[in-house]
Chain A
Amino acid sequence: MFLHLAVIAALFLAQFAASEYIVLMLTRIMVLAIFAIGYNLLFGYTGLLSLGHAMFFATGLYAAALGTTLMGLTVPAAFAFAVLAGLAVSLVMGVITLRASGVAFMIVTLMFSQAAFLTVLYFGEYTRGDEGIVIPDTIRKFAFLGFDVDLANAVLRYNLALAFLGCAIAFSLLIVRSRIGHILIAIRENETRTSMLGYDVQRYKLAAFVMSGTLSAFSGACYALMFAYAGSTLASIQYSIHPLLWTLLGGASTVLGPVLGTGLMFVLVDLASSYTNANLLMIGVVLILLVLFFPKGILGTIRERYWKWLP
């Protein structure tokens, strides 16, 4: 608990100390870390490896982008709309995909995500397909509860992202510490056993799936509204692999792992792209090394060896 507050506080203070570029990069990291946190609820705590989370990210992304540009929603309304859309899509997807398990679940989620990606292209008239849509600055300036908000303002955006991230961490912590969190872990550890202890495993998995998908959609909405762009690339398979990579790197089934992993991967890619163009190589090597030597990720390994209390 203290550790998590310290991380939030450190991130808050970072905006006064760090360079402008770092602040911009952190904003992006924090928004995408929400995606990773959402992913971790399903993968880390429930043990369900989805290869289709781009579909939820894209749901939020396009709900926000199309909501503001086509349906005339205000930004706060677009956030709400994106969350509702995320909820609905993940509920439907959960009911269907959770009938499969193991490798079949991975492939089914991959397939549905691919179908979602193609759907974005199919409705190219509205989504502008791969080229995507830019959300005009006029929409991103709005009044909320008496405050004038301009999402083009870097400082405001940073603190907004931080607030959202804080909420996501708190939510994740709350879930993990609660009864439902214990049951999710029990399902991950031994699904049959959990069912034979009288738990409705299917319902708990669905709950985890919906929470995970909705958080991912929320992150997608943040991304669209804060960075003013939505395009089909952000719905592609690559964006299903990203949260997996971030979560694995930071440590699956640790609350802060996804945040750490997202940040670290960004820094790695950013540093590498100044020296070499072998981004892909590096991502690949990191994945392989993680699987071989640190299957529990950074925080997972730390927890195993030193801080056993880490949630």
Chain B
Amino acid sequence: MAAAVLALSALGLSLVFGVMRVVNVAHGEFFMLGAMLAWWTAKMVPGGPLAGFMAALVVAPAAVGFLAFLTERLLLRRIKYDPEATIVATIGLLFVIQQLALSLFGADAKPVAAPFTYRIAFPWFGYSGYKLFVVVASVFILVGVWWVLARTRYGLIMRVTQFDRETATAFGIPVNTVYSAVFVAGAALVAVAAVLIVPIQQAHYLMGLDPLLMSFIVVIIGGLGSIKGSVIAALIIGMADGIISVFFSPTLASIIATLAVALVLVVRPQGLFGVTAR
């Protein structure tokens, strides 16, 4: 469960970093916005949780994607995707989005009803049917993205752009359009993740930090820019976190996990599954 959600939220970040070589610190806020919009849509759309959920699956990625489009056009392109300037600018964006969410939606945690509820009962504990659905949906999305990247023309274009911006330009690939598309797709993906997760978690304007940090961790362990690596890392972390916390107090477990991630990045900057940077 944790692993599927993690992989999904990290996917967008990984995609953006992979192709554009920039870190979007506002990634978590895109997630938060997606969740907020899911709540808002569910409230606005009549016809019960299922209708609201379906509507949110359209509205949230579209709106967040549009915001990402503006960000890419008005901000990132102007600073020429400079890695450090991008981090600073997206930190700024993080604050702006947080404040807007607070002003527009308020500070309360906003619960969203799951489109369906079904509790799968095991003899020793129960499991939510909706959570299982989230896992299945995440797997579908991950496989879908992988398929696009590995098997289609778009994927090829993205990989060429990732490999070398100049070469791509020389091959007549509209690099700017590709960047826009990737950034928007990354944001839309994380918004979808948020819509899926919000019936489990609820929306809150400060919820973005946690997925951001976790996504960072996943993307780092998996190797910056490697989608396969991100998925494997999400699985490992989703499980390891649970295992570590059996042996240590949870806060200590978090400390150990964080340190471990940092050390991985120090020893193998390319991540566990990444290939050495050119």
- Interface residues in chain A, defined as those with a beta carbon under 8 Å from any beta carbon in chain B: 49, 51, 96-97, 99-104, 106-108, 110-112, 114-115, 118-119, 121-122, 237, 241, 244, 248, 278-281, 283-288, 290-292, 295
Contact = CB atoms under 8 A, between A and B. Distances in A.
What is the interface of chain A mostly: helix, strand, loop, or mixed? helix
What band does the interface of chain B fall in when counting residues whose beta carbon is under 8 Å from A? 35 or more
Interface string B12-28: 00000000000100000
B185 interface: no
A104 B92 contact: no
10 contacts: A101-B269, A106-B23, A108-B266, A111-B217, A121-B251, A280-B96, A280-B98, A281-B100, A284-B96, A288-B93
Interface of B: 23, 75, 78-79, 83-85, 87-89, 91-100, 102-103, 209, 213, 216-217, 220, 224, 249, 251-252, 254-255, 258-259, 261-263, 265-267, 269
B75 A278 contact: no
Contacts of B209: 237
B266 A280 contact: no
Given A107-B220, A281-B99, A285-B96, A291 B79 contact: yes
B83 A291 contact: no
B216 A110 contact: yes
A114 B97 CA distance: 22
A121 to B, nearest CB: 6
B258 A284 contact: no
A41 to B, nearest CB: 17
Given A100-B269, A278-B99, A278-B103, 5 more contacts: A103-B87, A115-B259, A283-B95, A288-B92, A291-B92
A107 B85 CA distance: 15
A295 B254 CA distance: 36
B216 A115 contact: no
B225 to A, nearest CB: 11
A156 to B, nearest CB: 36
Contacts of B269: 100-101, 104
Q: Which 8 A-B pairs have the closest CB atoms?
A: A287-B92, A284-B95, A284-B96, A111-B262, A281-B99, A280-B99, A288-B92, A115-B258
B255 A115 contact: yes
